[in-house]
Amino acid sequence: MKEYTTEFIRNVALVGHQGAGKTSLTEALLFTAGNTTRMGKVADGTTVSDHDEEEKARQLSISTSLIPIEFQDHKINVLDTPGYTDFQGEVKNAVRVCDSVVVVVDAVNGPEVGTELAWQFADEFNQPILVVINKINRENASFARTLEALHVRFPEYKFIPVLLPIGEGSAFKGVINVLTQKAYYGTGAERSEPPAEMLPEIEKAHLALVEAAAEASNELVEKYFETQTLSFEEIRDGMRMAARDADLKTVPVLVASGELNIGTYPLLEALLVYVSPPSQRRVALQNKPDEEVQFLDRPQSDDKPPAAFVFKTVFDRYVGTLSYFRIFSGKLESGHTYFNAEKGQEERLGQLLVMRGKEQMPVPVLHSGDIGAVAKLSVTQTNDTLSTKEHPFVIRKPTYPDPIYSVALEPKTQADGTKMGTALTQLVQADPTLRWRQDPATKQVVLSGMGDIHIAVAVARAERMGVGLTTSVPKVPYRETITKVSTASYRHKKQTGGAGQFGEVHLRIEPLADSEFEYVNEVVGGAISQTFIPSIEKGIRSVMEQGVLAGCPIVNVKVAVVDGKMHPVDSKDIAFQIAGREAFKEAFLQAAPALQEPIMLVRVVVPEENMGDVISDLTSRRGRVLGMDTEKGRSVVTAYVPLAEMQRYSNDLRSMTGGRGVYTMTFDRYETVPSHIAQQVIAAYKAEQSQNA
């Protein structure tokens, strides 16, 4: 691939709901630009974007693919993102490093939950937005209906058609450029006159285009107010300024059929016009990786110190790591050494690569604003910044939602067990929306992510890294506690010849609201030596870790040792550990013990027609609905729901809403488990203990 400098680079993130046709559209753009000799198909597993084996098997995108398109002496870096909400971390990282967000909307279904999520990310990073209404060739497709739905869903934005469809559904045969008022028929680049019957529609769209262009600057506003007209160049330049300024909230609307490869040539032309080159985008660089920071807000160019942000890491058991980066300042060269300010370590780069799907094209240098990759970085991970020691920069990281779906993991073999931690750490480093932990309450290894497919893909990747894993529903991290004061005593006496064991402990336990555990010594008169007070605590803590009712940790308990007895010869540490442990067990069972369960704050966003079903379902899960609201034409339900009832909610919500519902879930507090459910939990624990005995 030839070398491209900053002015000739465009970076766009192709985003939208699952099934909107982003990958097929990318294939059509590649083919139209002459970068490929045929168009691949998702169903056949032959697209440039979906090259991962999991993507081919599932026939959906699960990671962002970098697809540089060479067109009219420019390089358009297209980041083809997944539409499935499980992989929203991939989308967010792509939006973070692009210069405009291209939202692909299905002309049949209109804006959906994936559309809103992409829009939310564009807002978060203050990115300009373009819309492509795709699949206009499908039955029941409607440009006007989709445009109106966008107005309703995002009322603060101005949607300005810059391409119009010639026909819809099976009658779709081309597009019209509203600025030039010329038609593009079929797959070609030739311009011709538009159909006469469309002239009124074209004139109306042209007027809206002129008005949007006029609002881009004070000079154009004044001229338009005085003359009621603008020249072709003023309309073009004004609309370009409006589209490139996110604060103006002006959204050019284009139309195409990626499937038929119609409208893709004028779409490529539009990307060169309406997407800013990196030199016209400013970047905020943070010159320290701590809270006391200074931000340098400046244009991107080669003559500035380098700063490259790693937004994606791919692991391969044979090749190693492949790190994708966006250069926000300066340039990067193969074989040079840079500095990771966050890690405080130097990083020598090997061969720089331009990626096109899985194809690797070596290059000696990449210029400011470009996107590339490099293999086998030793210390740099996703969301790190590469700069220099003289000018150490850190680019602000995205924030990610909390995981909503978890599985417990078991290694398939002992060898897998020794490698499991390393593999999981690599997966989490590559994908910040994944988390893994050893749950201290359940003793399980738990992997958490954004949905069942997200987790399934992660487990499959671990398999490809040579680590076999089995999954199961995680145990709920219940806790045990008490609700009233009780006392108990226990004498441990053991005599088997020779030195014996003796220890007697009297204690009182009571509920403790503001702390997990408090231990006090109230023994007077030396009934128990100070030497053995820690031994008693050690025995009590061992019970608190293992639980009494259902094998769960015990919390919110105050223990006071009030009395006891010793033997001048046989009293020793182990005797008082046992006496303290058994006395605590007896007191615990007499103190009206209870199970506590985690309560989650759940926020569900669904189409209005699904709200009743969602509320009914949450109620059936022992949920307490807090409120209902409307947000951008969709219903929002918030509720407190026990974690035990939410373990597989993502699957159920998908079934209820046809994949159009999303939710977030965060831990709120612990509450007492209803007695009938607590009995079930305790019975299940005892059955498991009997089975394992």
CATH number at residue 458: 3.30.70.870
Residues 60 and 184 in one domain: yes
The sign of the dihedral angle between the CA atoms of 224, 228, 231, 237 is positive
Report the alpha-carbon distance of residue 16 to residue 85 in Å, rounded: 10
Region 7-22 average pLDDT: 95
Per-residue pLDDT tens digits for 77-136? 999 999 888 899 999 999 999 999 999 999 999 998 889 889 999 999 999 999 999 999
> What DSSP character marks residue 90?
H
392 is a domain residue? no
Domain hosting 32: range is: 6-192+247-279
pLDDT at 304 over 60: yes
In angstroms, the Cα distances linking 622 to 404, 625, 667, 673, 677 are: 18, 10, 16, 11, 11
Residues 145 and 274 in one domain: yes
* Residue 311, Ramachandran bin (φ over 0: left; ψ between -120 and 50: alpha; else beta): alpha
pLDDT at 294 over 70: no
Task: With CA atoms as reference, report the closest residue to 306 among 334, 325, 343, 332.
Answer: 332
Region 523-531 average pLDDT: 91
Both tokens of 77, joined, read: 């870096």
Report the alpha-carbon distance of residue 239 to residue 274 in Å, rounded: 8
Residues 584 and 600 in one domain: no
DSSP string of 438-457, one letter each residue: E-TTT--EEEEESSHHHHHH
Number of domains in the chain: 5
What is the residue whose two structure tokens read 């069972």?
589
pLDDT at 318 over 90: no
395 is a domain residue? no
Beta-carbon contacts of residue 195 (< 8 Å; ≥ 6 apart): 166, 183
CATH number at residue 563: 3.30.230.10
pTM of the predicted model as reported, rounded to 2 decimal places: 0.85
Task: With CA atoms as reference, report the closest residue to 132 among 279, 13, 296.
Answer: 13
Residues 129 and 253 in one domain: yes
Report the alpha-carbon distance of residue 623 to residue 643 in Å, rounded: 10
Q: Rounded to 5 degrees, what are φ and ψ at 470?
A: -110, 150
Residues 527 and 585 in one domain: yes
Q: Which of 360, 387, 414 is the last residue of a domain?
A: 387
Region 21-26 average pLDDT: 94
Report the alpha-carbon distance of residue 59 to residue 42 in Å, rounded: 6
Sheet containing 182-185: give its strands across: 163-166, 174-177, 182-185, 191-192
Q: Rounded to 5 degrees, what are φ and ψ at 7?
A: -65, -20
Region 166-180 average pLDDT: 96
Beta-carbon contacts of residue 337 (< 8 Å; ≥ 6 apart): 346, 347, 348, 349
Provide the pLDDT for residue 409: 97
Q: Round the average pLDDT of the chain to a whole number and report it.
A: 92
Provide the pLDDT for residue 659: 77
pLDDT at 66 over 90: yes
Provide the pLDDT for residue 283: 73
Q: Which of 560, 575, 592 is the last residue of a domain?
A: 592
460 is a domain residue? yes
3 state DSSP class of 124: helix
Beta-carbon contacts of residue 53 (< 8 Å; ≥ 6 apart): 464
Region 23-31 average pLDDT: 95
pLDDT at 291 over 70: no
3-state SS of 386-439 is EECCCCCCECCCCCCCCCCEEEEEEECCHHHHHHHHHHHHHHHHHCCCCEEEEC
Give the CA dihedral 524, 529, 530, 531, nearest 10 degrees: -170
More confident residue, 291 or 375: 375
Beta-carbon contacts of residue 390 (< 8 Å; ≥ 6 apart): 305
Both tokens of 88, joined, read: 């929203």
Task: With CA atoms as reference, report the closest residue to 355 among 651, 56, 682, 63.
Answer: 63
pLDDT tier, 650 (very low <50, low <70, confident <90, very high otherwise): confident
Provide the pLDDT for residue 114: 87
- The full length of the chain comes to 693
Report the alpha-carbon distance of residue 79 to residue 429 in Å, rounded: 20
More confident residue, 196 or 430: 196
158 is a domain residue? yes
Task: With CA atoms as reference, report the closest residue to 604 among 577, 641, 570.
Answer: 641
CA-atom Rg of the chain in angstroms: 32
Region 155-178 average pLDDT: 96
Per-residue pLDDT tens digits for 227-273? 888 999 999 999 999 999 999 999 999 999 999 999 999 999 999 99
**Out of 34-48, 170-184, 263-277, which region has the weakest mean confidence (pLDDT)?**
34-48
Provide the pLDDT for residue 358: 86
Provide the pLDDT for residue 29: 96
Per-residue pLDDT tens digits for 320-331? 789 999 999 999
CATH number at residue 668: 3.30.70.240
459 is a domain residue? yes
Q: Which of 418, 450, 475 is the last residue of a domain?
A: 475
88 is a domain residue? yes
Residues 536 and 457 in one domain: no
Residues 449 and 504 in one domain: no
pLDDT at 497 over 80: no
Region 280-290 average pLDDT: 67
35 is a domain residue? yes
Per-residue pLDDT tens digits for 332-388? 999 999 999 889 999 999 999 999 988 999 999 999 999 999 999 999 999 999 999
CATH number at residue 339: 2.40.30.10
Q: Rounded to 5 degrees, what are φ and ψ at 276?
A: -70, 145
Task: With CA atoms as reference, report the closest residue to 551 among 398, 444, 393.
Answer: 444
Amino acid at 147: L
Portion of the chain with pLDDT greater than 90, in percent: 75
Neighbour-count burial of 233, counting CB atoms closer than 10 A to its CB (0-12 exposed, 13-18 middle, 19+ buried): exposed
Residues 371 and 413 in one domain: no
> What DSSP character marks residue 470?
E
**Out of 372-376, 568-572, 619-623, 640-644, which region has the weakest mean confidence (pLDDT)?**
568-572
Report the alpha-carbon distance of residue 92 to residue 124 in Å, rounded: 9
Provide the pLDDT for residue 75: 98
Do residues 673 and 478 make contact, with C-beta atoms less than 8 angstroms apart?
yes
Task: With CA atoms as reference, report the closest residue to 268 among 254, 251, 281, 284.
Answer: 254
Report the alpha-carbon distance of residue 503 to residue 523 in Å, rounded: 14
Residues 19 and 138 in one domain: yes
Region 496-525 average pLDDT: 90
Q: Rounded to 5 degrees, what are φ and ψ at 168?
A: -140, 160
CATH number at residue 129: 3.40.50.300
> What DSSP character marks residue 87?
G
Report the alpha-carbon distance of residue 167 to residue 173 in Å, rounded: 6
Residues 460 and 603 in one domain: no
Residues 586 and 631 in one domain: no
524 is a domain residue? yes
Both tokens of 242, joined, read: 């409006």
pLDDT at 290 over 70: no
DSSP string of 9-53, one letter each residue: EEEEEEEESTTS-HHHHHHHHHHHTTS-SS---TTTT--SS--SH
Residues 18 and 51 in one domain: yes
Beta-carbon contacts of residue 174 (< 8 Å; ≥ 6 apart): 165, 166, 167, 183, 184, 185, 186, 262, 263
pLDDT tier, 295 (very low <50, low <70, confident <90, very high otherwise): low
